[in-house]
Structure formats: C-alpha cells, structure tokens
Amino acid sequence: MKKKVLIIYTGGTIGMMQEYKTRTLVPINFKSITEQIPELKHLNCKIDFHSSHRPIDSSNVKPSLWEELAAIIEKKYSMYDGFIILHGTDTMAYTASALSFMLQNLSKPVILTGSQLPLGVIRTDAKRNLITTIEIAAAKTVVPEVCIYFNSQLFRGNRAEKFTSSKFDAFHSLNYPILAEAGVDIVYNHDSIRKKSTGKFSVVRGFDTNVALIKIFPGIQSSIISTIAGIKGLKGLILETFGSGNAPTDKKFIQAIEEAIKNGLIVMNISQCSGGAVDQGKYETSVQLKEIGVISGGDMTTEAAVTKLMFLLDKKYSLEKDKKYLLSDMCGERSR
C-alpha cells in the first residue's frame, strides 16, 4: 500500500512562487502544485495538503503556531504515515525544538523543511528539498522524530540551528550526527535515530513565554542583568556565555545573577558556540556560576534551551523538578 503523507504549509519562501511576468512573489496554489513540481507524480505515496488560513513570515512565529501544528498532527495522526511542515527558515529550529517536546511517544516522522529561494527562480532549492523530504517521510526506514531536512541532510530538529542566510546549506548540527544524507541514495545513520516509541502518542501543550535571553559580551554591565531579571513576571533567564560556559567574574555581575536566583528565577547557562558544551567549573570563570546555582545547559542549542524552559515553566512544576528536567535529556535535545 502507498504511504500517506500530509504536507502542512505555514508560510515561508518555499511556499512562494515567482510570477513569470511581474517577477513578484505570490503564494503557491497547493491544489495545482504538481504543475509546478511534476516530479511529485512519480513518488510512490499519496500526498495531501493543509494550508494555514493566514501563512506567516517565520519571524512572526509564536507559541500559538506550535499549538496549531500539534493540534493538526494530533487530529490526523492515525490517518497519515508521515508529516511535513513547510516553514520559513529563520525560526524553523525553534518550531522543531518546541514540537519535539510537545509530540510525545512519536512513532512517525515529522519533518520541517523550507528553502532559500522560491519556486520558479533559477537554481531554486525548494523543489529538491520538498521532493526529498517527501521521500524520507514515506520511506520504509521510519525516522520517528521531529526533524529538519535541508540541502541533502536530515537533522534531529532540536539539535539543528540556522547558521547562514546566504547559502543553501543553511543548517548544521555540530553536537549531534546527521540522521540521514541524500546523495544518489538516501543513507540513514541508524545508530543516531531514536527508536520508535511503543507508547501511546500524545500531545502535551503549553508554553510560558516569561523568559529572557541575554548574550554576554565583554564590558556587559551588571545593571543589565539586574534590570532584565527584575522584569515583572519573569520566571526564567538564559545566559549565552563564552566558550564552555564562561562569564565575567566581576563581583557586581555575579551578585546580580545570584540575587535573581535567590528571588526564584531559573538561570540557565548556554554557550555562544555552536559546537561543544557548557562545563561549569572547568575554568575559574565559570566556577562561581555553578556555586550560585546557575543551571548548565550542556550541549543544547539556544533554540532547544529556550523552548524547553518555556515548556517546563508552563507545567508549574516545583523549582527542583524544573531543574531536574532541565539537566536531563527529555527527547534527544542534550547528551551532556
């Protein structure tokens, strides 16, 4: 039997096509997409489409979109063998990370893809990305994860990040191996793919957006930490630090962070580096962070750290339980 794949369009360049005469970008009519991409007729699967009522630029993505996507997948989960989400590249890693926490006991592929150039443009990457993503979603080898496919590579969604806006290989994953690579054949890295869950699929909803992200830089004033930490209703603060989790040892700077923690704020340490991990205590410049109660984000991406913290805060667990989950691997988002 042919496998069934549902393509969900949220917006982004991949859902646009350049109008031949005016050269302006217009949304694709998905009912006639096989006219733009005739190769889809040759794929051995049945493809259905679902388009958001109001496609958006991915810069405008909010948790409400993640809830909408999860609801669609939940409603149609038993009807399809795989799901593809067409999404703008700018916040794709945030959406992939958020869905990885929401979609629990996943036994089917949920793959996000997009493009750097729209359909109809010479050298567009849209056709190749979409066709190969459909092939993977309908393949005999099941990848039961939330993934990102881009430029011949399939990534674990909560391990990938966009690192360039000018090249076709827009995403990379330095802290976790790719799950598959598409060349002449699609080669799967079976050892890195999560095992299919035997539990019942479920969706856990809710994100608390009362979090802040601060990128540490030379000369940063302690008043910046104090001011942001003092925002009414703020519950979590993520620090993007240097290297393996290092930050200034200035007394006022450390005191500002310590005061925030004493006031009940969860403070997590994430590296500004794409590769490697936070190792608090490895150098003198991170010992104090560990001592005052800053939580190590290990080798998580910023996108995974932000969405994970928002997801946990919404569940209103105790502070100790939040810390336990943040330090643990919930769905393949961290290994250190």
- The residues that are catalytic are 13
The vertex-243 CA angle with 238 and 249, nearest 5°, equals: 70
Taking a C-beta distance cutoff of 8 angstroms, is the pair 244, 277 a contact?
Answer: yes
Give which of 74, 68, 72 is closest to 104, Cα–Cα: 74
The pair of structure tokens assigned to 333 is 């988002």
Task: Give the burial string for 154-185 (b: 16+ CB within 10 Å, else e).
Answer: bbbbbbbbbeeeeebebbbbebbebbbebeee
Residues 6+ apart with CB under 8 A from 33: 40, 49
Residues 6+ apart with CB under 8 A from 60: none
Q: How many CB atoms lie within 10 A of CB 67?
A: 16
